[in-house]
Amino acid sequence: MIEKRINLTMIIMSLIGGVIGFILGEILLNSLRYIMSSIILMGLYFGILAFCIGTMCLIGEMISPRLNGDGWKNNYLKTSFKLLIPCTLIGLFVFGAMFQFLYEISAQKFKKADDIVFAIDTSGSMKNTDPNNERFSAALNLIDNMDKNNRFSMYKFDDTAEKIIPMSQVTKQSREEVSGKLKDMQNPKGNTNMRDALEKAYEEIKSSETKDKNAMVIMLSDGGDTYDLSKKFDETLKPFKEKNISIYTIGMSNGNNFSMLKEIAKESGGNYYNVKEIKDLKNVFNKIYRDRQQRLLVDKRYGIYEASSLYKFLRVMFITFLGALIALSVSLVFDNKNLLKGFLVGGILSGFAAGIIMEAGFLYVPWMGMLHRCIADIVIAVIFTIIPVKVDVKDYSKKSSYMDKIKNFNIYENDSSNNMFQ
């Protein structure tokens, strides 16, 4: 007699496993994302998530064996625990790493940002926004942390934009030079001419460009443009878009006059950051520099690939595959062919839903990345467990096992061999 069943205990335990996997994944991302290879990082992320889900599903079925029966609990539980690490942690590590590798491959060659042009607001309003000129210290801190093969240039802008240092290699001498010049610019004055700053930043990049280097601009201000950028916006941004030069903008203060900074970042393929506390500025500068170098399956895309249709599709597709593989790995842990179909269908649905959640979330609400990952991980953990699976109640105390089939096949082969020589 065949019945369709779900295991409520397994559903609850799998949910707990998804939450635990999410927490461990966040710890992993926060501590190692800028240290470890992104391929290894994503392999570990999905391997750990699968292991947590698989472990809790196993415990749930051990508590209430509605899908596998007492025969499994009494005879095959130890086998399931032996299969747990190879099927979940190792298996999903391999696939997670492989999909991250494929996700990093670009239709056109992706070049890291080797050259950075800083455009820093020194208009009169900065007296109140940044009285201690910590924006200069934050820029110098980033220069200290840049790779020695990188180059940088710096401009200040108020009524006009003025070059502080031309494009220079990151060295102790160049840092001391720019630090000395910034000491003479401690008294903000004038208005905010963003158009002049952007035009001169582009001229700097163009005059110093080389084939093997890619450039980006970091623009910092405490408000909007007070000149004519809005009238000549498309004209000003056109060369940046043609050359794939991203502009990352930072809005300082608690005000809300940052629509122009947001639009500049959006149109150039960069990103906008809001800094309410001056003490957070150093972290934001470093985050821009480091995030520009990465494209993770579980995080926001930056630069020219942010709105790419290809990478939207790839993320959803790979997360769908990973959701299906996690569900498949759990069915293999139980070594039960009856679970395979139901879990696999549920895994495809959960993976697709998780992929859509991540893609839409990072596209429209990018600052809530932790929430998107949390919801996606829980969806992957739960949906496949709520799909009813067929249970043969007649053979409920027995075990329909892949291992049994292999053992029986080997016995049959041995018997056949013996018979041949009789």
Q: What is the mean pLDDT of residues 152-168?
A: 93
The arithmetic mean of pLDDT across residues 243-252, rounded, is 88
Question: What is the percent of the chain where pLDDT is above 70?
Answer: 88
Question: For residue 248, is pLDDT > 80?
Answer: yes
pLDDT single digits (tens) 307-366: 788 899 999 999 999 999 999 999 999 988 888 888 999 999 999 999 999 999 998 888
Check residue 255 and give its pLDDT: 61
The pLDDT assigned to 182 comes to: 86
Give residue 26's identity as a one-letter amino acid code: E
Q: Where is average pLDDT lowest: 159-163, 271-275, 413-417?
A: 413-417
Higher pLDDT, 226 or 333: 333
Residue 337 and residue 363 in contact, taking contact as beta carbons nearer than 8 Å: no
When pLDDT is averaged across residues 228-240 and rounded to a whole number, the result is: 92
Which DSSP category does 226 fall into?
S
Mean pLDDT of the 388-414 span: 55
Give the pLDDT score at 351: 97
Beta carbons of 135 and 252 less than 8 angstroms apart: yes
Quick one: average pLDDT of 249-264?
A: 81
CA-based end-to-end distance of the chain: 42
Which pLDDT tens digit goes with each residue over 15-66? 999 999 999 999 999 998 878 889 999 999 999 999 999 999 999 999 999 9
415 pLDDT exceeds 60? no
Cα 201 vs. chain centroid, distance in angstroms?
A: 29
Residues 113-124: pLDDT tens digits?
A: 678 999 999 999
Predicted pLDDT of residue 111: 52
Angle at 117 between CA 131 and CA 181, to 5 degrees: 50
Rounded mean pLDDT of 265-294? 79
Give the pLDDT band of residue 254 (cuts 50, 70, 90).
low
| Core vs surface per residue 14-43: b (16+ CB within 10 A) or e | bbbbbbbbbebbbebbeeebbeeebbebbb
Sheet bearing 272-275, strands edge to edge: 161-169, 151-157, 113-121, 214-221, 246-252, 272-275
What is the average pLDDT score of the chain? Answer: 86
Q: How confident is the model at residue 400 (pLDDT cuts 50, 70, 90)?
A: very low
Q: Where are the beta strands (DSSP E) in 9-150?
A: 113-121
Average pLDDT value for residue range 217-236: 90
Domain residue ranges of the chain, discontinuous segments joined by +: 2-106+306-394, 113-294
Under CATH, domain 113-294 is a member of which superfamily?
Answer: von Willebrand factor, type A domain (3.40.50.410)
What's the CA gap between 244 and 208, in Å, rounded? Answer: 16
Mean pLDDT of 409-419: 45
Report the C-alpha gap between 409 and 33 in whole angstroms. Answer: 47
Percentage of the chain with pLDDT > 90?
Answer: 50
Rounded to two decimals, the pTM is 0.72
* pLDDT digit string, tens, across residues 69-79: 888 888 889 99
Flag whether pLDDT at 236 surpasses 50: yes
Distance CA 350, CA 316 (A): 11
Q: What is the 3-state secondary structure (H, E, C) of 336-385?
A: EHHHHHHHHHHHHHHHHHHHHHHHHHHHHCHHHHHHHHHHHHHHHHHHHH
